[in-house]
Amino acid sequence: MKRKGILIIISGFSGVGKGTLVKRLVEKYDSYALSISATTREPRPGEVDGREYFFLSKEAFENKIKENGLIEYACYCDNYYGTPREYVERQLEDGRDVILEIEIQGAYKVKKQYPDALTLFVMTPDAGELRYRLESRGTESEAVIEKRMQRAAKEALGIKEYEYIVVNDKLEKCVDEVHRIIMAAHNAAHRNMEFIDNIRKELEGGE
């Protein structure tokens, strides 16, 4: 079977550890490419253009929008954030699975354009654990934590639109679970139509 890359959309509650999960997945298995977002915000100390983000001017970003060069984009706090299309499509053509860590609204937009994309939502074992993780960071005020919990409650309404869920309880276990789900997705019949058609034709031809 010829292996085509799968576009993988990973979302999850804020504070669930998606970033660490995705980073570890890409480190552990070499079949993945991580999509890098473009943004108009200023680089923070230590951030490198083309590693954390592609840093673009507002004009360059808006040009990208015009020429359909972004799969999705959104505006937060007066800055644009988006997913450059070219990198994603090149990796998929090379047979690599491309991971997009993205919030729920962006996920819907991507899935519309790439119906074959695999959607995965990362959860904590329960709501208390989510609060605990947000609190243990020690960087957020109680008001911000409340806001994030309310946002999670809203996001929870959208989980059913995702194909798979994983519980990020133990990191390595969760990484392997995500990897297994993606590997299994390569066996989906709808992703192997060409192979199925070929064997059907061979059999009909009396091979």
Minimum Å distance from CB 147 to its own copies? Answer: 12
Binds its own copies by CB under 8 A, chosen from 135, 163, 171, 194: 163
Q: What distance in Å separates the CA atoms of residue 126 and residue 152, rounded to the nearest whole number? A: 12
Residues contacting 69, CB < 8 A, separation 6+: 63, 84, 85, 86
Rg over CA atoms, the chain? 19
| The one segment of 2-10, 51-59, 67-75, 121-129 that binds its own copies by CB under 8 A | 121-129
In Å, how far from its chain's centre is CA 82?
A: 12
By CB under 8 A, the residues from 122 to 151 that bind its own copies are 123-124, 126-128, 130-131, 149
How far separated are the first and last CA of the chain, in Å rounded?
19
Nearer to its own copies, 144 or 193 (CB): 193
Q: What distance in Å separates the CA atoms of residue 157 and residue 15, rounded to the nearest whole number? A: 17
Binds its own copies by CB under 8 A, chosen from 35, 99, 162, 168: 162
Type of residue numbered 125: P
Q: What distance in Å separates the CA atoms of residue 36 and residue 49, rounded to the nearest whole number? A: 10
If one asks whether residue 80 binds its own copies (CB under 8 A), the answer comes out as no
By CB under 8 A, the residues from 17 to 76 that bind its own copies are none
| Residues at the contact surface with its own copies, assessed by CB under 8 A | 1, 121, 123-124, 126-128, 130-131, 149, 152-153, 156-157, 159-160, 162-167, 177, 180-181, 183-185, 187-190, 192-193, 195-196, 198-200, 202-207
